[in-house]
Structure 1
Amino acid sequence: MNENLPPPARAPEPRSSAPRDAIMTVNRPLLCQFALAAALLCWGLAPEEFRPEAAESLLLAGKNTADLDRMEAGYYEHLLDTGRRLDGETLVSSPPKPPPFKVTDLARPVDDFRECVLEPSFTTIFQQARWTTNALGLRDREYEAQKPEGTYRAVLIGDSIGVGWGVHDGEGFEPRLEKALDTQSSTVGGPRIEILNLCVPGYAPAQRREHLERLGWSLDPDLVIVQATAADLDWDEGRLRRLLSAGYGWEIPIYQDAINAAGLKPGASSSSIKKGLEAQQLRILSDVYRALGSDCSRRGVPVVWILLPRVGRSVSATERQTLVDLAKASGFDPVLDLSDAFDGLSPATLAIGPNDYHPNAQGHAILAQRLEDALANRPGAPWTQPSRPGSAGGAAH
């Protein structure tokens, strides 16, 4: 773990004020205002030598305030594919926009680079779909934190598509893929197969890596699955641009090389930040991908990288090749380009609604089948062979 990052937040306790079957989605403006006020107070009281750490705390608390929410709202809408019609027209008259995910009851604020995690042990209706999180804070079934003997465990890191935005529990591609691979493994006498879903809506690639660092590695995975879309190309760059323009984020370690290469210093104008970071867009993503690849290589854990489509949004040949090349250069293997999974199909039959590009249950079923086809018969994969004594199975290469 990078020592320059804030220490991990203490493991959260289940929320006692909301019953497990609560059906609500509420924003928390008062909590956000309190967090900002507390952060400003800490800044004023902090000794001079500790001001950098106080600045990092201000970054993490301040980004939950209304000013930054307004600044980031349009960007996150773009990345989450909400607020536009499937015909490409911007909505002129539409229902009220949902609050940013990080201020809903499903999100628990944390004082680190991730900004929020999923509320553990919680059930609600969100965006017209039933969401249930487990004790680990994952939208998934319950798992033991300690990997059971005779189990091959994978973790999936990704964004709103990976977590199953807009579909009910169990309808996403991840639980379908887990069931298919576990059934196949059981048939051949292999290990139990687990895929733990660490995806969180709104997470940029660097936040996904941070979530793996702070939670995923403690779960002892044998495999990391990285879920990507074409939005990865500018996700971290756009997010960082908005943070720096608001005076935050200058000390985030993963972005330092790009900030330095852009020649940017605190106090730079918004136009200078925009111009400088746009020129570093690929470097920013490459730095994140390479760091993730290095993390996994150091632990001897293989990485599967999957490029998924977004309903109604085509991926250009240039975007596809750029992402595939970055993934390969980062040591991800296998690199699975599934961006054509929805080609030739009507977006209206695959989207959760006319104003949201996220795949519906049928779309997730297609993604799960494509992933199963790509992974089921890979030579040496643990679900293709009997378990050896004392082993949970082979690699997924």
Structure 2
Amino acid sequence: MLCVLLAAGEGKRMAPLTATRPKVMLPVANRPMIEHLICAVRDAGIDTFILVVGYREKKIRDYFGNGEKWGVSIRYTVQRSQAGTGDALRAAKGLVKGQFLLMNGDMIVTADDIRRICASPAPAVGVFESKTPEQYGVITETDGKVTGIYEKSQNPPGNMINAGIYLFDDDIFAEADRLVPSPRGEYELTDALVPAISRGNLHAVPLLSWCDIGAPWNLLEANENALADLTSDIRGDVEEGVILKGAVVLAEGSVLRSGTYIEGPCVIGSGCTIGPHVYIRGHTVIGNDCHIGHASELKNSVIFPRTKIPHFTYIGDSVVGSDCNFGAGTKVANLRHDKKHVKVGGVSTGRKKFGAVIGDNVLFGINCSVNVGASVGRDVRVGPHTVVSGTIADESVIGRN
């Protein structure tokens, strides 16, 4: 059996983080999310992959190559138009014979769940019990057979959702070839499932562990899950006077300077300088070549590579892109006064604590204040003493420089 991974989309809901990289290359515990999937599928016993790529595909090809580093074989096929998941499936036509696994590339799932769906008769779809079923395609089933799929209904008939993991025979390509554009102008994979549902032979396989990464704030949950069983691994330098509590991973070439206090779980990449006197709280992930300066505090945040966070800065529950530079004294708020769920661009994060989404190469002047729920586009320039709120477009200049 082989696995087809759908990795062609831009991921517009992940903006501004996808302005310079495909969605599937966004980091979870300092590794691209799709790398976690490839490793889980490999650990489930499948070592042959076809990656359907498109948007900024070179990033994926350059990183994974032929898959040898991971002990797998990877081939690529291109979805030119990104015209929906059904169109992405058709891009793999002619490369697949017999039974195969098909997965969306923007989620985290365990090897045990992959084995579970592979043990089912085909065709089969993985389903997961969700607290927000209105955001997904909802599955109804009777005796383990799918009876209906309802896409993003405001009044869903249940809470069991389509997890985007399928086991197919190659006859699914004939159904994909018959697809017509949906009302939103895309070829929907779920429409290709209608004949199997009508025949009563589409199997629903419950998954025990699944994390969707459809919006920037989902990266926080994904990292929290990835770090749940973290084991300490200190390969960098730790100066006298550093205190480490819980599991901490410190990559080679990084240094923790005196007075720094870290509450794990926490992952710090290579080439980083942390401190002196930095406080890092649980579930924080710091990418390669970052600098966190004196008297700064980070909490439950994801910091992409080469970002500089100098002295007297606070960042809580946020996602920060690559190559950013925070002016000294900048603060990112992460809690509304009314304690309600934070919204970003009018969309609820489902989290009472969430700070900001900050794109790549954003420069802040000193003493800036970033309001809860802000979304700051790539290449934005923020003047000193500026209050940042709402959605800031790419390449904007705000405040007095």
The structure whose Rg is larger is 2
User: Same fold per TM (> 0.5)?
Assistant: no
Higher share in helix: 1
Shorter-chain TM-score range: under 0.3
